Structure 1
Amino acid sequence: MHAQIVLFDGFDPLDVIAPYEVLHAGGTASGGLVSVELVSAEGPREVVSGAGALVLRATAALDPARAGLVLVPGAAGRTGAPGEAPDHDAGAGQRQQDASIPVLLGRTLTTELPVLLKAAMDDPEVIVGAVCGGSLVLAMAGLLKGRHATTHHLGLDMLDATGVHAVRARVVDDGDLVTGAGVTSGLDLALHLLEREVGPQIAHAVEELFAHERRGTVWRHQGPAPAAF
């Protein structure tokens, strides 16, 4: 499985680094069955995060045709109203730090990212994953209508508003769409994908390596619906 983790201006570093390390370790533990790279819609470039001045480098362009997994992170910044105007007079790094999370997520819709993500969603051979606000990027692009997904608890109403079946769970597995809630859920999402796609022994070895026990039940739209308590 080749994983491409998407960087965009204002991304949340933990949404990227947590699954990157898990998947990279899974590749090592499995003798190369998993590979992972950082990509952007624009191609190789330095990408400014929304957390201080931290910058990561995308080494390639997002290419769904080469991917087994495309993973979209959320953004880091201030909480604020979706209609809040960005400060175009500030430098790129300062704009990322000063902008609200809804503004940073909304900016992705003005790039080629939605087109590339649609190509990934349309390919049954590609798994699309999202951590935290990454689900909102997909939802705002009109790609999750009728699907089951989760995001940070502050964004669940926004998911509902776009026609998504929002689920209050840490990880939601909807087949070729797998989403995680808050930022640390990226660890659990990546470990779940390792177990599902490569095997439980590899996932367990990586879990032990990072001294991290996955939290909560992975929600699937299966079995009987629970009665009210």
Structure 2
Amino acid sequence: MKGAHVHVQIVLFDGFDPLDAIAPFEVLHAGATASGGAVSVELVSAEGPREVVSGTGGLSLRATGLLDPRRPGVVLVPGASGRLGDPDDGADLEDDGGQEDTVAVRLARALDTELRSLLGAAMEDTRITVATVCGGALVLAMAGLLQDRHATTHHLGLDLLDATGVHAVRARVVDDGDLVTAAGVTSGLDLGLYLLEREVGPRIAHAVEELFAHERRGTTWRPGGLAPAAF
């Protein structure tokens, strides 16, 4: 993909976490300017153009396009925001309305839409890198799309990743080839900068890093090299 135009689709769904989406959007938009248009980014949904209400205070963003799982580039999935709850809360949604605002329920609801099949198609397309922020990795894991892959998410969700057959990694950003995942919400900044570095080069990423006055944290984990010995 390097050397070519890179298009990024950031997926919105009802209950999404705004910072998970906006942080990488702003970084990638700045990267588009810094690179002279080598990058483009848009907000999309599984239903097409619409107002999508986040899980934070009723804040909404407008998706301007339909998620296209066959368009080469990057598909970026945010997590949800809301009350913390047991991952099994989603199973009791119809019986217990009090659980409707939990993160687990909002992630499960997203998968009750066309999003599940669209993300599945994107994961199968070798021309697409699927990226996630925070609970976005759990969306893929709950859909059965991350079996035996290396990924990270918010630290409170690492055990759930493990339970779904994912090799959970406690790292800020994890690069598993055509899957790049980031940890808690503010790591969306680091993810956006890493995607710029990976796809259009470190000079563009560094320029945006300076513009945002944000220094990336940690080492991006990759499944290669020597395995560390026990300390």
Give the TM bin, normalised by the shorter chain. Answer: over 0.9
Select which of 4, 24, 30 maps to 2:9.
4
Unpaired runs of 5+ residues, structure 2, are 1-5
Q: Is the 8 A contact 1:5 1:38 kept in 2?
A: yes
User: Which position in structure 2 is the counterpart of 1:33?
Assistant: 38
- 1:109 is displaced (CA, Å) by 1.4
User: Which position in structure 1 is the counterpart of 2:110?
Assistant: 108
- 1:82 is displaced (CA, Å) by 2.5
User: Which position in structure 1 is the counterpart of 2:29?
Assistant: 24
User: Which position in structure 1 is the counterpart of 2:3?
Assistant: none
Q: CA offsets, 1:99-135, max 9 Å, x none?
A: 1000100111110111111111111110000000000
Work out the CA distance in 2 between the residues paired with 1:124 and 1:149: 18
- 1:89 is displaced (CA, Å) by 11
- 1:180 is displaced (CA, Å) by 0.2
Q: Which runs of 4+ in 1 moved over 3 A?
A: 85-90
C-alpha RMSD over aligned residues = 1.6
Give 2:66's aligned amino acid.
Answer: A
Q: Is the 8 A contact 1:86 1:99 kept in 2?
A: no
Q: Is the 8 A contact 2:71 2:128 kept in 1?
A: no
Select which of 120, 123, 136 maps to 1:121.
123
Work out the CA distance in 1 between the residues paired with 2:28 and 2:55: 23
Select which of 60, 79, 85 maps to 1:55.
60
- Where does 1:1-229 land on structure 2 (aligned, <5 Å)? 1-84=6-89, 85-86=92-93, 99-229=101-231
Work out the CA distance in 2 between the residues paired with 1:83 and 1:188: 30
Work out the CA distance in 2 between the residues paired with 1:194 and 1:186: 12
- 1:88 is displaced (CA, Å) by 9.2
Work out the CA distance in 2 between the residues paired with 1:196 and 1:89: 45
- Residues paired across the two proteins, number: 224
Q: CA offsets, 1:151-202, max 9 Å, x none?
A: 0010001100111000000000001000000000000011011001000100
Give the share of equivalent positions with the same residue, in percent. Answer: 75
- 1:81 is displaced (CA, Å) by 1.7
TM-score between both structures, scaled by the size of structure 2? 0.93
Three-state SS of the structure 1 residue aligned to 2:207 is helix
Aligned CA distance change for structure 1 residues 153 and 113 (closer, same or farther; 3 Å): same
Q: Is the 8 A contact 2:171 2:221 kept in 1?
A: yes
Work out the CA distance in 2 between the residues paired with 1:147 and 1:83: 23
Work out the CA distance in 2 between the residues paired with 1:153 and 1:177: 18
